Chain A
């Protein structure tokens, strides 16, 4: 795995929002590596900074109030944060593309889906309209949309949620990106439709070989899809390892607690209460001192309340941000 070329390397990314109520450190120390052709999961609860990380990679942070205040994002060895807006515009949708949770708001309701995909293609590739249409229909076919010629001239509202998400994927992949970012792309879908879309994404990844960054709150989704998994909490990566490692021997108390607390679908019913994580996610306005997980952590000590732990490599490829990691 590691002898594959590094595609994205995020180092200590910090993205803050300067609101009228104060500063929100939405991303405050995210480190993330994506190799070429790798599927990487970024998992966390609301407010952990996972979506802001994605928008930071795309350089789509609304400014004001948002600002990337520190860190580097290397893509093919070049720092995206040093690129001009014009250079970024050429990268977006071409080399890096993104799909979102709600495909309806990402599609313009007054244009046909065919027009919208063709536009995305002609924006980045020097081809004429006829070729663009041909390529669009090819893409629609690729993402499993039946009768792509007819669907080409349909409007977004004529399609179901699952179909719209397929359209979004077709548009995102139309320029053969090196990286596809999927931000909760299956969260709004029903289970059977989610299974369709995940199946499609897996198939396309094998076929086209792009890297995928899957951003989700659903541990089961990344368990099925990702090679490596990064767990984010309160704007920081707290644990990062291969999927197998994360689920087999989680070392950070948060990861461990999270895995323990979700009901197991495959196990017989018990009347035992679930081992829940106490307390709640800290407000970004009132971050606790020291380790941000310490108020909820059963193993927290005086040190955790005072000092901020660093991300350290406990085993090859297994990074943990904790003073008292759980023994494997």
Chain B
């Protein structure tokens, strides 16, 4: 019996880790991560909704139906999600608002991660006073109360999509800087970095060819989760009225707009709220799964 088991298991040799590339291995592990797959499914639904939806439901998000009978319509054939206080089609506004929210999320998360990576790499690699200066600045940025400053800032630079992105980047790079600095500190002690110095490689080369690629996996995770929080940020800023301005829709300002009618038309809050919730949860699940998948010590 035991003999048989041995023979069978020997024959069942699958591909081993030696046969995979790094990306292939991460992908393989990711597909076995249930939460990550749930997150990915949620994100696919959202992306399909936002990008394929408008191709199927062709309605102008800013077109208003004049008159009182056009306002607060319940869902119907003509307006699958009904209309809002200006008589605009809510489904179409959800599509376009989603695009803007996602755009803000992607651009600001990727940019703030890049800035954090640069600050962290420079601080970690050079150490000494450079490190001290950059990290104290990072600490200072972290200890600022974001929202009051934000309101002050938007009165200076104005309101709108690019301003919102700028604000999220300015207040969003610090965690990544700390993360990358910590990694750079340990990576620069690796022998391959010493080997690079031994062949005469410059500091720039060591930072970008040797340190950066080794932080990339972690940065991708951080960006993924960062997209989720940037979308929340956008929603909060828009909710306060300093974000994306009418008539343009974003999930955030749809939410803000709807709060006056919370009793009259609660569905106007539920739709964008649910969309934000699903997107952020999807990015967080997927990011967590990615983090587990790139950690070789973790058994999946």
Using CB atoms and an 8 Å cutoff, list the residues of chain A in contact with chain B.
14, 16, 18, 20-23, 25, 65, 69-70, 283, 285-286
Contacts and interface: CB of A to CB of B under 8 A. Distances in A.
A210 B13 CA distance: 41
A23 B12 contact: yes
Interface in B1-16: 2-3, 5-6, 9-10, 12-16
Contact of A21 (B2, B3, B10, B15): B15
Interface residues of B, number: 17
Given A20-B32, A21-B16, A23-B12, 20 more contacts: A14-B6, A16-B6, A18-B9, A20-B299, A21-B17, A22-B12, A22-B15, A23-B9, A23-B13, A25-B10, A69-B2, A69-B5, A69-B6, A70-B3, A70-B6, A283-B16, A283-B18, A285-B16, A286-B13, A286-B16
Interface of B: 2-3, 5-6, 9-10, 12-18, 29, 32, 299-300
Contact of B16 (A16, A18, A22): A22
Nearest to B13: A22
B229 to A, nearest CB: 32
A22 B29 CA distance: 14
B90 to A, nearest CB: 46
A69 B13 CA distance: 16
Contacts of B5: 69
B2 A70 contact: yes
A16 B9 contact: yes
The 7 closest A-B pairs by CB, nearest first: A285-B16, A70-B2, A22-B14, A21-B16, A21-B17, A23-B9, A22-B13
Contact of B10 (A20, A23, A65, A283): A23
A65 to B, nearest CB: 8
Contacts of A286: 13, 16
A196 to B, nearest CB: 30
Contacts of A22: 12-16
Nearest to B1: A70
Contacts of A25: 10
Contacts of A65: 299
Given A20-B299, A22-B12, A285 B18 contact: yes
Given A70-B3, A70-B6, A285-B18, A20 B12 contact: no
Contacts of B9: 16, 18, 23, 69
B14 to A, nearest CB: 4
Contacts of B32: 20
A22 B13 CA distance: 5
Nearest to B28: A20
A16 B12 CA distance: 13
A285 B2 contact: no
A20 B298 CA distance: 12
A128 B173 CA distance: 60
Nearest to A286: B16
Contacts of A21: 14-17
Nearest to B3: A70
Nearest to A71: B2
